[in-house]
Amino acid sequence: MIQESEYKRRRKTLASSLKNNSIAVVFSATAQTRSNDTEYPYRQNSNFYYLTGFKEDNAALIIRKGRKATESYLFVQKKDKQLELWSGKRRGVKGAKKLFEHDDIFVIDEFTSKFDLFIKESRNIYYDFSMKSSKIEYIVEKSKSFSSRSNLMPLIGKQRLIKSPEEISLIKKALQITKEAHHYAKDHARELTYEYELQADVEYIFKKKGAYSDAYTTIVASGNSANTLHYINNDKKLLDGALILMDAGCEYEYYASDITRSFPVNGTFTDAQKDLYSIVLEVEKKIISMVRPDILRTTLQEKSEELLCEGLVKLGILKGSVKKLLKKKKHKKYYPHGIGHWMGIDVHDESPYKDEKGKEIPLMAGMVMTIEPGIYIDKDDKSVPKRYRGIGIRIEDDILVTYDGYENLSKNIAKEVEDIEATYS
């Protein structure tokens, strides 16, 4: 668990990025309607949680930075027995003060009056330009007299690039649960009939082990379904001889995991499946081995494209000079996506890839990113040898950049051919 001292440090670090005589405002997420009077399970706004650790809705954070001091104020929903009867207990001001260390904590009903008071001594304001709410509209109107208005989110996103030891521990816990879920699902795949049954197995383990939500919608794509990158219908039959692409990760205490594995329904790769799988696996391992401080993500991308293109030529899927094929981007038909993305509180962490001047940010110790090359060949692609048609493969791991290289946080999730096939023995 992350201690309150770390949340305080995060707020202090953020304040150091603000101009003097500034005020910064962050709001909690609002509850989202599913249909009529039912709501989706509530999840806190990631940036608000990152700065506060507070999980309730109808809340706000104000950070004030003067010339000599920084102050932090939390606003929370007041205690209300009638509302709590329907929606559960609230901490209220008294309960929040026992757990969270701010200069003061108020009920959310006081937000506008306190905001009006605070801005009298502020010249600059920071807030989330993308958020829509009546309070944001109020802030926008009130801030017209400020010297400057700035989007706060890029500053928080930049700060979220580097994970603390406590954050890495939570990601590792999420990955331990995800490992158990992936292995459990592979063990039972040939006993099942539909993709959604495999999804149910994965999500059963997530919840059984204390990860109460998915980091994203689970993908269980068998056969040609794997050639739809964001396939989430999960309603096709699991046919003997088909390959399954399963992209599934849990969220543990707000921290994500993101893992893709590709494995045969019946437990044994065909020769064609093994040909393609071995190419993707070797490319993934090579790119992971390149991860280290100061290397650029685009360097990893370019190398993955070069290696996959070489493999496609070797199998006769592409024909011609690798150099010319890369220049004409012919390989993009079979590998259309990026090599990976930042991961943390969000599965696609809201952190920048370029700095304020548009220059790419190199990898640094403490960053966590996915590495996920893939090959996707549609069943109707007659330009490809028939044995390879209808196969989609992606292999994805979560990688921590260390001071002297990398740590594969998901290395214990089976991906070698012999380990996958041994699962079924």
Across 139-143, 210-214, 357-361, the highest mean pLDDT is recorded for 357-361
CA distance 178 to 218: 12
Mean of pLDDT over the chain = 95
Does the annotation mark 331 as catalytic?
no
The model carries a pTM of: 0.96
The neighbouring-strand residues paired with 151 are 127
Does the annotation mark 128 as catalytic?
no
Query: Domain ranges in the chain?
Result: 4-159, 165-422
Fold of 4-159: Creatine Amidinohydrolase; Chain A, domain 1 (3.40.350)
Q: What is the mean pLDDT of residues 368-377?
A: 98
The half-sphere exposure of 48 on its side-chain side, counting CA atoms within 13 A, is 25
Q: Which of 67, 141, 230, 403 is an active site residue?
A: 230
Other residues' Cβ atoms within 10 Å of the Cβ of residue 40: 10
Give how far Cα 354 sits from Cα of 108, 297, 357, Å.
36, 11, 8
CA distance 279 to 256: 27
Q: What is the CA radius of gyration of the chain?
A: 24
Q: Which of 348, 350, 381, 424 is an active site residue?
A: 348
Burial of 41 (0-12, 13-18, 19+ CB in 10 A): exposed
- Confidence (pLDDT) at 280: 98
Give how far Cα 117 sits from Cα of 75, 101, 242, 356, Å.
15, 21, 65, 32
Tally of residues, the chain: 425
Q: Which of 201, 214, 275, 396 is an active site residue?
A: 396
Does the annotation mark 416 as catalytic?
no
Give how far Cα 245 sits from Cα of 46, 72, 227, 234, 279, Å.
28, 46, 9, 11, 16
Q: Do the Cβ atoms of 26 and 47 come closer than 8 Å? A: yes
Which amino acid type is present at position 286?
K
Q: What is the mean pLDDT of residues 134-145?
A: 79
Q: Which of 149, 183, 292, 337 is an active site residue?
A: 337
Does the annotation mark 188 as catalytic?
no
Question: For residue 339, what are the contacts with CB-CB under 8 A and spacing of at least 6?
Answer: 287, 297, 300, 301, 304, 371, 372, 373
> Which range, of 120-129, 299-308, 342-351, averages the lowest pLDDT?
120-129
Q: What is the mean pLDDT of residues 174-201?
A: 96
Q: Which of 216, 252, 254, 376 is an active site residue?
A: 376
Supply angle C-alpha 29, 33, 233, rounded to 5.
100
CA distance 259 to 197: 18
Q: What is the mean pLDDT of residues 243-272?
A: 97
Q: Which of 341, 346, 349, 397 is an active site residue?
A: 341
Q: What is the mean pLDDT of residues 330-352?
A: 97
Q: What is the mean pLDDT of residues 19-42?
A: 92
> Which range, of 12-16, 120-124, 180-184, 327-331, averages the lowest pLDDT?
120-124
Work out the percent of the chain whose per-residue pLDDT is above 70.
99
Does the annotation mark 57 as catalytic?
no
425 — pLDDT class (breaks 50, 70, 90): very low
Does the annotation mark 396 as catalytic?
yes
DSSP of 264-314, one letter per residue?
Answer: ETTS---HHHHHHHHHHHHHHHHHHHH--TT--HHHHHHHHHHHHHHHHHH
Is a pLDDT exceeding 80 seen at residue 156? yes
DSSP annotation of 407: E
Q: Which of 214, 349, 372, 397 is an active site residue?
A: 372
424 — pLDDT class (breaks 50, 70, 90): low
Other residues' Cβ atoms within 10 Å of the Cβ of residue 385: 14
- Confidence (pLDDT) at 121: 82
> Which one, of 129, 213, 155, lies nearest residue 18 by Cα?
155
Q: Which of 57, 258, 397, 398 is an active site residue?
A: 258
Q: Which of 247, 284, 346, 398 is an active site residue?
A: 247
Provide the sign of the torsion angle of the four alpha carbons 353, 356, 357, 361, taken in this order: negative
Does the annotation mark 341 as catalytic?
yes
Q: Specify the CATH class of 165-422 in words.
A: alpha beta
CA distance 312 to 325: 11
Judged by DSSP in three states, 163 sits in: coil
Crossing angle between the packed helical segments 165-188 and 195-208, to the nearest 10 degrees: 140
Is a pLDDT exceeding 80 seen at residue 145? no
423 — pLDDT class (breaks 50, 70, 90): low
Q: Find tokens 């997530």 and name the residue.
A: 206
- The answer to whether domain 4-159 and domain 165-422 are alike in fold is no
Q: What is the mean pLDDT of residues 98-102?
A: 95
Edge-first strand listing for the sheet containing 22-27: 104-107, 70-76, 60-65, 22-27, 124-127, 148-151
Does the annotation mark 247 as catalytic?
yes
231 — pLDDT class (breaks 50, 70, 90): very high
Does the annotation mark 37 as catalytic?
yes
Supply angle C-alpha 277, 312, 393, rounded to 5.
30
